[in-house]
Structure 1
Amino acid sequence: MSEHQQLYKMIQNRIQEGDGFLPFDRFMQAALYEPGLGYYESKTVFGEKGDFVTAPELGPWLSLGFADLLFWAWKELGEPAQWTLLEQGSGSGKLLASTLGMIAQFNMTQPTAVISVERSAQLRQRQIELFGASGFDVDVVSTLDAVEPRENIIVFSNELPDAFPVRCFAHSGGAFYERGVVATEAGFDWKNGEKIIDDGPEIADELIAGWQDGYVSEWNPGLKEWQEQLAAIVERGFIFTNDYGYSQQEYYREGRREGSLMAHIGQAASEDVLEDPGSRDITAHVDFTALVKAGRAVGLTPLLWMSQGGWLAQSPSVQAFVQSLAMQNDAASMHLMAHAKRVLMPYGMGEVFKILGQAKGVESARPDYLSQFDHLDHLQR
């Protein structure tokens, strides 16, 4: 029996154990993270041979932007001689390795501890090999629970909370009903639960008022726990989160009546998130309003929220690299510039991806160089 067949049978059994109904977050958890069987545990995920290409695979653009943020944050912390750099959801490890290479060129004290948090055993092994070959001393761990609380720490992530298992709902008759998965002869299918959800999403009443009956979407209960974990680790420091998503006003607008769930397989997007679990990535966009609210509740102060394109376009290191490529004007430079357009421009990743900055235990405002396109006020209306 293949790995996919084993996972399929396991999910079928869990549906049977749940009287024929499995909440979607449990399906997504198994499909992505079931040890030895889930998508992130059994496939080559990233790069040209994987199912999707993330920004770190498109050149140094993201690491340049993060390097500028880390340098700024380190200065805001008082230029400490000892500090920690942590990336969560490091995937292949390319972004962290590239960023470490970038900040080595800055006039700053290098981190005395570097931590990579990655839940996938397969990806942790790939990281260990990459960091070893690159000469970087990185402590690779599986969960945030393995990290002791510390001062002077900077945390960053790229495309992390979009992969947290989400709960799905149908809104009917003024109430929220859980959406889950059932088994049929043809495979897996959607079904609305019969009981009203008593721990549903916190969505502004004025948004709900505009929905048609039967409005379908999802919410991410893992955001709250994640922010609690980060607040417990970060006694003094900064957190930078880059991911695709919206303000709550945009996420739950009237016209977005089927949510944001999607799958990725074979370098293509698919709306069928239930087919052949373990074969495809499953994601949902991030509700940044909910993320900021969860952070505020545990003492994380939001500093900035803006598009990835706006962030990178204003980053000094990105600007300098663009200028150097323009002067070279060769095939390699043109190739990198083509990737830059994909990462920065609105028709690529530039608009749908957002960067959120948060702080704890340090009085700070956003970096001066990121003042032009900051839209944090959109999350706090």
Structure 2
Amino acid sequence: MINFLRNIIVSRSSKMLSYAEFISLVLYHPIYGYYMRKRIKIGSEGDFITSSNVSDIYGRTIAKWYAAIVEEYGINPQICELGAGNGRFAKAFIDEWHEKYRQPLQYYILETSPYHRELQRKSLSFGETVKQIESFDEITPFSGLVFSNELFDALPVHVVEKKQGQLFEVMIGMEGNELVEKAVILQNEQLLSFLKKYQLTLNEGQRIEIPLEMERFLENIAKSLEKGLVVTVDYGYTTEEWMDISRRNGSLRGYYKHQLVKNVLERPGEMDITSHVHFDALIQKGEEVGLHFLSKQRQDEFLLSTGILNELTEHHDPNPFSQVSKRNRAIRSLIMPGSMSSFFHVIMQQKGYSFKVDDLFKCS
């Protein structure tokens, strides 16, 4: 991967890549990209873990919640999951639906990684009602639920920094065999417009990630969604939180074998790279393209609203390894104070409906 990047950099007249270009290549290049390579990424043998991989209770709870909305309001029993990883959420959701509900479910997985598509085929039965797609174009217009879990944090971002009163874009160059950062005076009008639009005024010495790709992704969702809900699960900050002095170094980081790596130029193509989502920008951009804001909750609060506590089973089984014991521990791990859920938020948006937040939980 390093030789591949070097060839691209030296071929440029500027001898540099933007951070967004770098992240796009090291994560999504069809041959060398981290997400495209045949390597376990999620779980104890990988580099990170997601809520859906703690237990199938996560996918089953959201399936039960959505089924109640379908039954109560007649919303379309279709779901498009964006970036389904190893398919564990999809399997839990589909299993719960088929076991409990009569309405036929149409489940689409938008997945561009050949490796993840292969993993999904091992755990899911694909056919007319469960399909893998590579583009929104394959299902436009879509009506139903658009769901993503830790997708937006993995989209490419630019990096901007303020030094000596001047805004710079942080670029990537080469020195010998090493990738290095190079600061150039910020001239990208799209980045300047983003900072102004979302009222992001950097302090001296502060850097921040600018997610132009997030805006484009939201535009694609809105274009494809005719009517339905968008549920986005991720970690991020509001504009006010971004401006806090504790975030002066931004949020860009890598994960390799469950260890946080501060220098994302290390191990290109071999580790996950992530940054916190701009929640206010996601919500405001959604409004502009017709995805109207419903709510933003911590994930544990969302799961409690869906009725996950009803899934706790009273029992007196002394065996801590029994299925009931494991299930109860998984539920508690998702809702207890300080659990991983407290670091995630669930943002709900709607198009073509006029739901109020309480409408979507009264059926749970």
Aligned AA for 1:330? N
Aligned AA for 2:162? H
Which residue, out of 35, 43, 56, partners 1:40?
Answer: 35
Corresponding residue SS for 1:255: helix
Which residue, out of 271, 279, 286, partners 2:277?
Answer: 286
Which residue, out of 90, 97, 113, partners 2:91?
Answer: 97
How large is the Cα RMSD of the aligned pairs? 2.4
Residues of 2 paired with 1:227 and 1:205: CA distance?
Answer: 16
Which residue, out of 112, 115, 120, partners 1:119?
Answer: 112
Residues of 2 paired with 1:75 and 1:284: CA distance?
Answer: 37
Within the alignment, does 1:144 sit opposite 2:132 as a pair?
no
Corresponding residue SS for 1:66: helix
| 1:68/1:173 CA distance change after superposition, 3 Å | farther
Corresponding residue SS for 1:157: strand
| 1:205/1:313 CA distance change after superposition, 3 Å | closer
- Alignment match, 1:319: 309
- Give runs of aligned pairs for residues 267-346 of structure 1, distance below 5 A: 267-316=258-307, 318-322=308-312, 324=313, 328=317, 330-332=319-321, 333-346=324-337
Residues of 1 paired with 2:18 and 2:232: CA distance?
Answer: 27
Residues of 2 paired with 1:109 and 1:307: CA distance?
Answer: 30
- Give runs of aligned pairs for residues 188-337 of structure 1, distance below 5 A: 188-200=179-191, 201-202=194-195, 208=201, 211-316=202-307, 318-322=308-312, 324=313, 328=317, 330-332=319-321, 333-337=324-328
| 1:204/1:76 CA distance change after superposition, 3 Å | farther
Corresponding residue SS for 1:356: strand
Corresponding residue SS for 2:357: coil
- C-alpha displacement at 1:136, in angstroms? 8.9
Aligned AA for 1:221? L
Residues of 2 paired with 1:330 and 1:95: CA distance?
Answer: 27
CA deviations 1:326-373 (Å, max 9, x no partner) are 5555313444444334433342312220001111011211135759xx
* Structure 1 unaligned residues grouped into runs of 5+: 1-6, 372-381
| 1:173/1:238 CA distance change after superposition, 3 Å | same
TM-score, structure 2 normalization? 0.90
- Alignment match, 1:31: 26
Runs (4+) of structure 1 moved beyond 6 Å?
none
- C-alpha displacement at 1:203, in angstroms? 5.3
Does the Cα contact within 8 Å between 2:69 and 2:360 map onto a contact in 1?
no
| 1:336/1:185 CA distance change after superposition, 3 Å | farther
Q: Percent identity?
A: 25
Does the Cα contact within 8 Å between 1:33 and 1:39 map onto a contact in 2?
yes
| 1:299/1:107 CA distance change after superposition, 3 Å | same
| 1:102/1:325 CA distance change after superposition, 3 Å | farther
- C-alpha displacement at 1:198, in angstroms? 2.1
Does the Cα contact within 8 Å between 1:84 and 1:114 map onto a contact in 2?
yes
- C-alpha displacement at 1:95, in angstroms? 0.2
Residues of 2 paired with 1:37 and 1:144: CA distance?
Answer: 24
CA deviations 1:147-173 (Å, max 9, x no partner) are 22133x211111111110011111245
- Alignment match, 1:50: 46
- Alignment match, 2:342: 351
| 1:148/1:135 CA distance change after superposition, 3 Å | closer
Give the number of equivalent residue pairs.
Answer: 356
- Alignment match, 1:375: none
CA deviations 1:178-212 (Å, max 9, x no partner) are 1111112352121211343322133578752xx43
